[in-house]
Amino acid sequence: MRAVVQQDPFDFGAEAARFAADRRVSGAIVTFTGVVRDVAGTLEAMEIEHYPGMTETALTAMAEEAVTRWSLEDALVIHRHGRLAPGEMIMMVATAAPHRKDAFEAAEFLMDYLKSRAPFWKREVTSEGAGWVAAKETDEDALKRW
Amino acid sequence: MDVLYFAWVRERIGVPRETVDTDAVTVMDMVEELRAREDRYAAAFADISALRVAVDQQLADFDAPLSGVREVAFFPPMTGG
């Protein structure tokens, strides 16, 4: 189990390959990657603030809960902070389980919790100005299924 | 006690962290103390339904007790992922 918060980009291919290597009991590996998207065509950067200390604790607790609840062989969470350009990868999760249902569900659980319970705040810098991204009610609702 | 602010709460108050001398029993008591200090605090804490709080780096409620607590953080709902 690994939970990392970092400013630097991560190598998605290398991380996924390393995570998938040498599995014996896991028949299913799921990966998800979140990317900075430019919906209106005006985005210059996405700035991500976080709470050093609490972030690491929160990510580790989420990954541990996922491993326990879905009997995962392993879980990986990487989340970046700092200034990111459109198209850059923000975060990734990976889960390894004997069967795909558990691997998919655990990955969705991690993504839902990262959205609303990990102390990150996104600020969009556009050609028309900058502003904090508001949390969505649908993201909060998504937690109810867990 | 160390008090930390993030995102627009930090911008409204103007500092990322400060040491607050307080006898507040709960988080809400401390919010009331801060609100009474200066307009920038009153503005940041105007609507606490728009805020979240962490006590010693764990998410908490505004009625959480502050006895023995070292660090309190205020911030808007999180937008990770």
The CATH number assigned to the domain with range B2-75 reads 3.10.20.30
Q: Which pLDDT band holds residue B37 (cuts at 50, 70, 90)? A: very high
Beta-carbon separation of A123 and B7 below 8 A: yes
What average pLDDT does the segment A136-143 reach?
90
Nearest Cβ partner of A118 from B4, B8, B80? Answer: B80
Q: What's the confidence (pLDDT) of residue A39?
A: 86
B59 pLDDT above the threshold of 90 = yes
Q: What local confidence, expressed as pLDDT, does residue A18 receive?
A: 97
pTM above 0.90, yes or no: yes
Provide the 8-state DSSP code for A108: H
DSSP string, A5-35: EESS---HHHHHHHHHTT-SS-SEEEEEEEE
How far apart, in whole angstroms, are the C-alpha atoms of residue B54 and residue B56? 6
pLDDT at position A84 is 98
Tell me what pLDDT residue A40 has: 87
Q: Which of A76-90, A110-124, A132-146, B63-77 has the lowest mean pLDDT?
A: A132-146
B29 CA: distance to closest CA in chain A (Å) = 23
Q: Number of CB pairs < 8 Å for A and B?
A: 67
What is the pLDDT at residue A128? 93
For A87-115, what is each residue's pLDDT tens digit? Answer: 999 999 999 999 999 999 999 999 999 99
Report which of B46, B72, B47, B49 is spatially closest to residue B60, judged by C-alpha positions.
B72
Is the pLDDT reported for residue B17 higher than 90? yes
* CATH domain A2-145 topology: Aldehyde Oxidoreductase; domain 3 (3.90.1170)
Is A90 at the interface with chain B, CB within 8 A?
yes
**Residues A23-82: tens digit of each pLDDT:** 989 999 999 999 999 988 999 999 999 999 999 999 999 999 999 999 999 999 999 999
A 60-89: CB under 8 A from B: 79
| CB of A109 closer than 8 Å to CB of B73 | no
Contact list, B79 vs chain A (CB under 8 Å) = 115, 120-122, 132-135
Indicate the residue of B8, B78, B81 with minimum beta-carbon distance to A119: B78
Domain boundaries, chain A: 2-145
State yes or no: pLDDT of B1 exceeds 90. Answer: yes
Res. B56: pLDDT tops 90? yes
The pLDDT of A119-125, averaged and rounded, is 98
pLDDT at A55: 98
Q: How confident is the model at residue B35 (pLDDT cuts 50, 70, 90)?
A: very high
Q: Are B55 and B3 in contact (CB under 8 A)?
A: no
A120:B79 CB<8 A: yes
With beta carbons under 8 A apart, name residues in chain A contacting B12.
none
Question: Which residue carries 């990111």 as its tokens?
Answer: A84
> Exposed/middle/buried for A107, CB within 10 Å: 0-12, 13-18, 19+?
buried
Please give the distance of CA A72 from its chain centroid, rounded to a whole number. Answer: 17
